[in-house]
Amino acid sequence: MQLHQVETEHLHPIETVDDLKFYLYTAIQLEHATIPPYLTAMYSIHPGTNKDVYDLIRVVVVEEMLHLTLAANLMNAIGGIPDLTGEGFVPSYPTYLPNGETDFKVGLGKFSEETIDTFLNIERPPLPTDSLKGGSKHSFGLTNTKRSRKLLIPAFKSADGDELHFYSIGEFYRAIGDGITKLTQELGEENVFTGDPSKQITPEYYYSGGGEIIPIYNEEDALAAIRLISEQGEGHDGGIFDYEGELSHYYRFQQIKLGQYYHEGDEPNAPSGGPLAIDWDSVYPIQSNPRITDYPEGSELKTAAMDFNIFYKNFLEQLTIALNGQPDQLISAVGGMFRIKEMSYQLMRNPISDDNENTGAPTFEIDAIS
């Protein structure tokens, strides 16, 4: 499946439906990109231990999968093609996510304090509105940094050559929302939402505790979906809860860092709920950001790690089929997650070699598979 790719390495504000498609492709990619790190940390926990932590991460993963599906619905709504199979769709870990002044790496690592810090970075709330930099029309949450690395969300280039980045994922979605509104006003709703409605993933085929799937047929639905994604991630109106009263991802992870649950009515950074039991040692000593080449030639571990990547590639292919007009396929595709968990556990319980303390882990090197 070949996606219409925008040539430039840089973003520019959404002017056309094609621009919007490019943003949405990036959104799908971004939602997916957080899943392997979350899964890796989650499965590195010895089963049966660290239940609080496991459940907290799990909630976030389930919601990220919902976001991915919503982004695909958005893409289908405007006549685009959600594609999870293209080259580079799965980043090579560690990868970089935008975060204001400092780059941070998102990698595949075991559950640890460092990993939780990274997760907090991924889910960081947007800048308060009054601290936005610059004054121009498109400076919503953009910060000015020098960056050279390949980024998941491409940078803007300002008139005077500065590289501008979204401060947080929320701001990126805000740009998409603004773009949709602008296009709808300029072109008329029926000329933006031209997709085949039968491709929408509807609630029969997707339901989980992670929130509702919203089929998207018009601007109203689209903005509702964007709001859901943003608020589950970063809370409602700068608060720590979303409009449903659920904690946003950032504060969920912060509970792990602070060792304490938030309670209704709490202020940010000051949870007052019960303690979280954390055992940092009940974790498989997996190698961080592993590569197939790290595993001994001819070992079962290596074969299994390659099998994992093939399985994961198939999984993404199946998802893509489901998201392109065969919504009933989604149920069995999601069922594949069960194998992903089992295969991860097996890798993580096998030492890399006799003289290596670390155990294996999925490498998620999908592009390497021919």
Partner 1 sequence: METYQENLNVFLDLSVVLTDFSSYELQGTGQLEAYYSTIIDVIGESNMVEVLDAFTLAKTNANGNETELEKQIRIQLLSNDKLGPITRNIIKMWFIGNWYQLPNIWRETYGAYEKDETFVVSAIAYTEGLLWPTIGSHPPGAKAPGYATWIDAPQISKV
Partner 2 sequence: MKKILTNFNEANNQHIYNMRHKQKVVDHKTALNKEYDAVIVGSGISGSIVAKELSQKGYSVLILEAGPGKDLTISGYEKYINQFYSAVSKDNNAPYKRNPNAPMPRSVDVKKLEPGKPNTDSYLVQNGPFISDFTYSRVVGGTTMHFESKTPRMLPEDFNILTRYGHGLDWPMEYEDLMPYYRKAEFEMGVSGDVSSQTFSNEKAYEDDYVFPMLEMPPSYLDQCVAKDLDGTEINVAGETKTLKIRTFPQGRNGIPNNDYKKFNNGELFKPVGAVSEHQAEEGERCQGNNNCTPICPVQAKYDARKTLAKALENGGVDILPQTVASRVVIDPVTQKVSAIVYKSYEDINSEKHTTGTITANLFILAANAVENARLMLASGLNGSSDLMGRNLMDHPYILTWALLPEVAGTTRGTICTSGISDIRNGDFRKEQAAFAVDIHNDGWGWATGSPNTNLEDIVDNKNKFGKELRNELVHQISKQLLLANMVEMMPEPSNRITVDPKYVDRLGNPRPIVTMHLPEYTMKGIAFARQMSRQIFQRLGAEDYSTYSTEDYGYVEYKGEGYAIRGGNHLAGTHVMGTDPSNSVVDANQKSWDHSNLYLVGAGSMPTIGSSNTTLTMAALCFKSIDAMVNDLKELQASKQTSKQL
From the CB of 62, what's the least distance to partner 1, in Å? 15
Beta-strand pair 351-353/356-359: antiparallel
- Which of residues 259 and 351 has its CB atom nearest to partner 1 in the complex? 351
Query: Would you call 37 helix, strand, or coil by DSSP?
Result: helix
- Looking at residues 46 to 65 of the shown chain, list those that interact with partner 1 (rule: CB under 8 A): 46-48
Nearest to 255 by CA among 37, 42, 50, 56: 56
- Looking at residues 330 to 369 of the shown chain, list those that interact with partner 2 (rule: CB under 8 A): 331, 335, 338
243: contact with partner 2 by CB under 8 A: yes
* Alpha helices (H) in 78-192, listed in sequence order: 113-122, 169-187, 189-192
185 binds, among partner 2, partner 1, none (CB under 5 to 8 A by kind): none
Query: Would you call 107 helix, strand, or coil by DSSP?
Result: coil
CA distance 19 to 167: 20
213: contact with partner 2 by CB under 8 A: yes
Beta-strand pair 163-166/156-157: antiparallel
258 binds, among partner 2, partner 1, none (CB under 5 to 8 A by kind): none
- Which of residues 207 and 280 has its CB atom nearest to partner 2 in the complex? 207
Give, in degrees to the nearest 5, the angle at Cα 153 between 121 and 166. 60
338: contact with partner 1 by CB under 8 A: yes
Of 88, 203, 273, 351, the residue at the interface with partner 1 (CB under 8 A) is 351
CA distances from 259 to 116, 220, 266, 269, 275 (A): 12, 39, 15, 12, 6
Residue type (1 letter), 25:
Y
- Which of residues 8 and 208 has its CB atom nearest to partner 2 in the complex? 208
CA distance 64 to 53: 17
From the CB of 324, what's the least distance to partner 2, in Å? 20
Q: Which of these ranges, 62-70, 144-152, 225-233, 339-347, lies near partner 1 under the rule CB under 8 A?
A: 339-347
62: contact with partner 2 by CB under 8 A: yes
Measured over the CA atoms of residue 112, residue 118, residue 123 and residue 125, the dihedral's sign is: positive
- Looking at residues 257 to 316 of the shown chain, list those that interact with partner 2 (rule: CB under 8 A): 261
Q: Which of these ranges, 114-122, 141-149, 240-248, 347-355, lies near partner 2 under the rule CB under 8 A?
A: 240-248
Contacts of 228 (CB under 8 A, 6+ apart): 70, 211, 212, 214
Provide the binding-site residues for partner 1, judged by CB under 8 A.
46-48, 300-301, 304, 331-332, 334-338, 342, 345-347, 349-351
Provide the binding-site residues for partner 2, judged by CB under 8 A.
48, 51, 55, 58-59, 62-63, 203-205, 207-214, 220-221, 223-224, 227-228, 243-244, 246-247, 261, 331, 335, 338
